[in-house]
Amino acid sequence: MLHPLTQHPFLCIARSLVHFPSSKNAKCHRHARDIFPRPSRPLSRQLHDRPATDAPPATDQPPPPVSTINDDEVAHFSRLSALWWDEQGEFALLHKMNAHRMRFIREKVLEVRRDERSPDGGFATAARSSIESSPHALEGMDALDVGCGGGILSESLARLGANTLAIDASAENVGVATRHAAADRSLSALSFRHASAEALAQEPKRFDLVCSMEVVEHVDNPAAFLRACAELVKPGGHLFLSTIARTPLSYLLTIVAAEKAFRVVEPGTHTFSKFVDADELIGFFARPLARGARPWISRTYAHGLPTRAEAEVRGIAYIPWRGDWVLAPRATTPWSTQANYLFWARKPKDNP
């Protein structure tokens, strides 16, 4: 057991600096474990701490749901719930980020749909352009927004035509989101529930699209949380995540700059030790999530990156002088994912 001081963020920075930038996949995971031993919570942050054989079996034998909800986090966001739709206040950065993550979702879903069409031109240019220019790119899809907060992303998913269910661990958030969406009569395909991903995974309903944006870094047991989210995805469906990498840069940006120096985000919103690196997510999905199941990511290439058809990581950065976020192009080095990033993975079609 390590002394509690070893968890101090500055020490973390010091340690990560020692390891960066040479750390590659395997090394990185080890160091993640080294820095954040959290003996009282064996599943915390260490996404690969359990061999796949220990993973909960498939849905036919449901394990008792493990709650990954952190009460302090729920209390924190409940306190701020009134501010969700103040676009110039506490959540301004999230509002500004929304268009970019929606663009990522839209383009990725369309890209997969394009890839699925027969390659021999069964997909006429006219039909293609009508899909590409359609304002309802998610028409006919079932979408789930896990940790919807005030419903910023959920409303957008519904506007693009997805039949959307949005859940949150805070009843206050669900209340705010429901009331806000009720003012917009075009959002009839959107509903909210006060529920956890684990509880929802116990129900039979599965989704074409599961999104959980800026949530992984707020839950207690990310491995269990991700497993629940993954389980909620239909075979061949999409899982979209966004979170923050655990790097010196992200500490500087999200905690020192955003929370402490400029107060654009309420202090205490982020906990550095709970941030998740992109290669940890890739590593998590490169292993079978259940006994005998195919892993979502079958292989990785240079910089440990997966193929574009299986998973994708894209950095996203806030540029203060532009007052807006910028989504890094696909062909950038992993340096773009040193702070905020978006993650997409697709459940194999033959995966129950």
Partner 1 sequence: MLPRPSSNIRRSLLCKLSRRGSPHVSGRLISGSSGKMPEYDDCDVVILGGGPVGLALASALSSNDTLRNSLKVTLLESSDLNRIRDWDPPPDAFSNRVVSLTNASLDFLIEMGAWSHVDVERTCPMVDMQVWDGVSDVRIDFNAATLGISARDGSNQMARIIETLNLQRGLLRHLKKYTNVTLLDNTKVENIFGDDILSGGWPVVQPSVGRALRARLVVGADGIKSVVRSYSKIDSYGWDYPARAIVATLQHPPRTVLFNTTAYQRFLPTGPIAFLPLSPTASSLVWSTSQALAAVLAKADPAILASMINAAFRLPELSVRYLHERLLEAPSISLDDLRAEIAFREKAHAIPPHSALASVDVQPNDTIVGIPDQGAEMLPPLVASIQPGTVASFPLRFRHAESYVGSRTVLIGDAAHVMHPLAGQGLNLGLGDAEALARCVQSVIMYGGDIGSRTALMPYSRERYFENHKIMSAVDKLHKLYATTAPPVVWARSTGVEVLNELDALKAGIISAAGGQSRAVGGESFPWSTVANGLEALVSGARVAGAVGSGLKSVAGNILQQLVRVTSDPGNNKRE
Binding site for partner 1 (CB under 8 A): 81-82, 87-88, 92, 95-96, 98-99, 102-103, 106, 133-135, 137, 155-160, 172, 175-176, 179-180, 182-185, 321-324
Apex CA 275: angle with CA 272 and CA 278, to 5°?
A: 145
DSSP letter string over 53-84?
GGSPP-TTSPPPPPP---HHHHHHHHHTGGGT
Q: Which is nearer to partner 1, 114 or 179 (CB)?
A: 179
- Asked if residue 161 lies in contact with residue 141, where contact means CB atoms within 8 angstroms, the answer is yes
Least CB distance to partner 1 at residue 161 (A): 9
Q: Which is nearer to partner 1, 35 or 109 (CB)?
A: 109
Residue of 132, 125, 127 lying closest to 110 (CA atoms): 132
Q: Which is nearer to partner 1, 147 or 150 (CB)?
A: 150
Least CB distance to partner 1 at residue 150 (A): 11
Q: Which is nearer to partner 1, 79 or 308 (CB)?
A: 79
Least CB distance to partner 1 at residue 64 (A): 32
Sequence-ordered list of residues with C-beta below 8 angstroms from that of 85, at least 6 positions apart, any chain: 91, 150, 176, 180
- Asked if residue 6 lies in contact with residue 220, where contact means CB atoms within 8 angstroms, the answer is no
Least CB distance to partner 1 at residue 190 (A): 11
Least CB distance to partner 1 at residue 106 (A): 6
CB atoms within 10 A of CB 18: 10
Strands in 207-213's sheet, in edge-to-edge order, are: 190-194, 163-168, 142-146, 207-213, 233-244, 340-346, 311-319, 324-327
- Asked if residue 194 lies in contact with residue 171, where contact means CB atoms within 8 angstroms, the answer is yes
Q: Which is nearer to partner 1, 87 or 116 (CB)?
A: 87
Least CB distance to partner 1 at residue 85 (A): 9
Q: Which is nearer to partner 1, 151 or 306 (CB)?
A: 151
